Structure 1
Amino acid sequence: MGPLFVWSTVIGLVLVAIVAALPWLLKKRGVTMCQTKFGTTLIFESENADGTPVRLINVNGAFQSVCYLPDDLHFELACLYHREMADVIGRMARDAQKRGRRLRVLVMGGGGYSLPKYLAAYVPNAHVEVVEVDPAMTKIAREQFFLDECLEVTGAEGDGRLTLVNDDAWGYLQRQDEPYDVIVNDAFSGKRPLGPMKTDEGARVVRAHLADGGAYLANVRSACEGRRSATLREVREAFGREFASCRVVPEWEDEPEKPGNNVFIAR
């Protein structure tokens, strides 16, 4: 048995020990590691720009969701793009209420359930269906992102205002017969969007499942200009062929070549 073999064996054992100890080491630093459908998931706490404590989900190196930790902020929206979406939905819900009807909303992708929690707490005239493909993510949202607390406080699941579905969101949408007033596409695997949100087929499917006057809201992770803007450009071209109006609310208005979570709105 030569020295090279011995050293290779020792190094291999050390690496195995490090990997085995990694969850324990992360937990000592306040980080929880688990496996979800789309890979290694880290849950940890930090602060946002103004010092407010937050909890985050990171999947395979990409941030998926964030929520505030102070008791009075559990159902508030920490992300700018979610606030833009909530503003559109809130205005449409108020208009629907004036006409004596409830706004029907589909949210594709639950993650930490930030937007659904907000709608359950603050937009009572919206009936929201949330479709999340990974039961592990829903469990995380229930236990660590205050989803169960929201359901208890608002009663939104019991009175039918919030419906939770574990399924493939794109397939679920295509099986529905009744149109939605709002379809939200917030489904991501790491940094990659799920569903054909960039294609002509995707635009046609979404348009076919929207009521007249309805809106499609998508989180498009892309730059708005430059070499990293291809995703947003493809979305605008595909949906522009099916919808009367399309616009983008950029995350980084003053830095258009910087990738961000941009809100794409088609009406």
Structure 2
Amino acid sequence: MSSPTPDVTVPPALPDPAPPRALPNALAAFLVFFSSGAVLVLETAALRLVGPYVGVTLQVTSSVIGIALAAIAYGAWAGGRLADRRDPRTLLAPALVLSGVATAVTLPVVRYAGEVLRGGAASAVLLLVALAVFVPALLLSAVTPLVVKLQLADLRRTGQVVGKLSSVGTLGAVTATLVTGFVLVAALPSTVILFGLAAALGVAGIALGVWLHRQDRTELPGPARAKAALAVLGLVGVGLTTVAPDPCDIETAYHCARVEVDPARDSGRTLLLNSARHSYVDLADPTHLEFAYTRWIGAVADVVAPPGRRLDALHLGGGGFTVPRYLTATRPGTDNVVFEIDGGLVDLSEEKLGVRQGPDLRAVVGDARMLVAEEGTDSRDFVVGDAFGHLVVPWHLATREMVAEVRRVTRPGGVYVQNVIDYPPLRFIRSEVATVAAEFRHVALIAPPEALAGERGANFLIVASDAPLPLAAVRARLDADEEPVSLLSGADLTAFAGDALVLTDDYAPVDQLLATA
């Protein structure tokens, strides 16, 4: 006979906690669109922030893209983990407000750190870029997985929800990239862009928090002390910006530009672009050529066309308009056409560097590669290549195809001079000499002897023509200069170039050739 089974009281099963309520579809789409777009505004603005300290090279651009992508990856991962552990509705507003505060603090942090890391190695570039973009981009990238978690109320619609929000985020990023590149950067300084973005993020976060509070009838997220601390931190960021060192007089679409008065010469002005000395002009004496490479250009011009004889000259790159002013002053009636991609730089040169446009000097704003194709064949006596992005000749202006266009424009007896900056082991200048020599029949190279020996970086001036170059006369003019300079041609120049790569539109690794490591 079996023993009676004792009564066991089974407690009732607790109901599963109710899933967080989804956001209205329009609000969810806005949050994903806005946060994704804000990341790309930061990424584009970061190039302008770090450019004055480390330049705008392929390595810097790659660093900005890489750091931004890393921030997006870590932010999405962190946002996904938090969404599974806490109610995403309580996290969205703080994420937006925190990203706004981080954005406000970014500008003074970069400006102070940039003064320390200026011109540093690759590690300095990565660190400065990380300071510019990583934290706010990480916080913003956490928003999308939080929103996705909220909207996944029906597992049968997972693919539709995720796909829709992913596409909305991508559209936000694309829209922000185009608006920032075509509108904001051209119209506003970095300070206004970043503080405007910070304010927009802060307002959006606060408004979302208030709306969720009313919907959920809960306290606003975060204790009062934390809210006060965030507000103070944002104000500190704004305050520090007012006293942070500013490397720019103005920000153009391409450069952080500043004009400095020469303490040794009252009428001397130095144009700095992204903190690098690009041009020197004497407001009272346009024939004064301060930089050695401009004196070399002047020497070649004086030999090709003695002072007083007018020229039809084309300048690829304007900068401070030093050489056009020299040619106008020494050769009345000369027609100088200057192709300058940066319209803001033209305005600055007119305002502070004594440039006056008229019949003898005309600035055309646009990319020199596009504009030179519109020039007539055999239309110019003297072509000057002096276009730079920071300290680098833009790759599309350094190829054989570009040189062929220059040769087409240059008259049979005309001369092309090209300013190039390179550093040991001199791979780029060797390639550029080989590239120019592939099109022009006669080529020479002017440079400091220690630079040719690979002892230091310097300016190099390539001189090319289809007619024999008056090298003896050029040599005599160079010898009159106070600084020693070498003139290579013929077999010596061939030996210098060696088997260097001829650059083409298909393959022109300019930044890699310039790398010193």
Which TM-score band (shorter chain)?
Answer: 0.7 to 0.9
- Give the aligned partner of residue 350 of structure 2: 142
Q: Do the aligned partners of 1:66 and 1:112 also contact (CA within 8 Å) in 2? A: yes
1:84 maps to 2:309: no
1:192 maps to 2:414: no
Distance 1:195 1:217 in 2: 17
Distance 1:197 1:233, change over 3 A: farther
How many residues align? The count is: 239
- Give the aligned partner of residue 263 of structure 1: 461
Distance 1:4 1:74 in 2: 60
Q: Do the aligned partners of 2:313 and 2:336 also contact (CA within 8 Å) in 1? A: yes
After TM superposition, the score normalised by the length of structure 2 is 0.42
Distance 1:74 1:92 in 2: 19
How many angstroms does 1:110 deviate by?
1.1
SS of the residue aligned with 2:344? helix
Distance 1:239 1:233, change over 3 A: same
* Structure with the larger strand share: 1
Distance 1:234 1:136, change over 3 A: same
How many angstroms does 1:182 deviate by?
1.6
How many angstroms does 1:188 deviate by?
1.4
Q: Do the aligned partners of 1:65 and 1:111 also contact (CA within 8 Å) in 2? A: yes
| 1:17-71 deviation per Cα after TM superposition (whole angstroms, max 9, x unaligned) | 222455xx76xxxx86211121322222234xxx3343222222322212235x3
Distance 1:3 1:219 in 2: 59
Question: Residue type of the partner of 1:207?
Answer: R
- Give the aligned partner of residue 245 of structure 1: 442
- Give the aligned partner of residue 174 of structure 1: 373
- The within-5 A match list for 1:3-14 is 10-14=232-236
Percent of matched pairs sharing the same residue: 23
How many angstroms does 1:191 deviate by?
1.7
SS of the residue aligned with 1:215? strand
Distance 1:84 1:19 in 2: 42
Distance 1:95 1:119 in 2: 9
| 1:61-117 deviation per Cα after TM superposition (whole angstroms, max 9, x unaligned) | 322212235x3x3552221111111221222223995xxxx4321011111111111
After TM superposition, the score normalised by the length of structure 1 is 0.78
Q: Do the aligned partners of 1:198 and 1:234 also contact (CA within 8 Å) in 2? A: no
Question: Residue type of the partner of 2:306?
Answer: R
Q: Do the aligned partners of 1:106 and 1:182 also contact (CA within 8 Å) in 2? A: yes
- Give the aligned partner of residue 52 of structure 1: 265
Structure 2 residue corresponding to 1:205, chosen from 396, 405, 427? 405
SS of the residue aligned with 1:205? helix
Name stretches of at least 5 consecutive residues in structure 1 with no aligned partner: 152-156
How many angstroms does 1:164 deviate by?
2.4
Distance 1:235 1:5 in 2: 58
Distance 1:75 1:21, change over 3 A: farther
* Structure with the larger helix share: 2
Q: Which has the larger radius of gyration?
A: 2
Q: Do the aligned partners of 2:420 and 2:461 also contact (CA within 8 Å) in 1? A: yes
Distance 2:437 2:377 in 1: 23
Structure 2 residue corresponding to 1:37, chosen from 227, 239, 253? 253
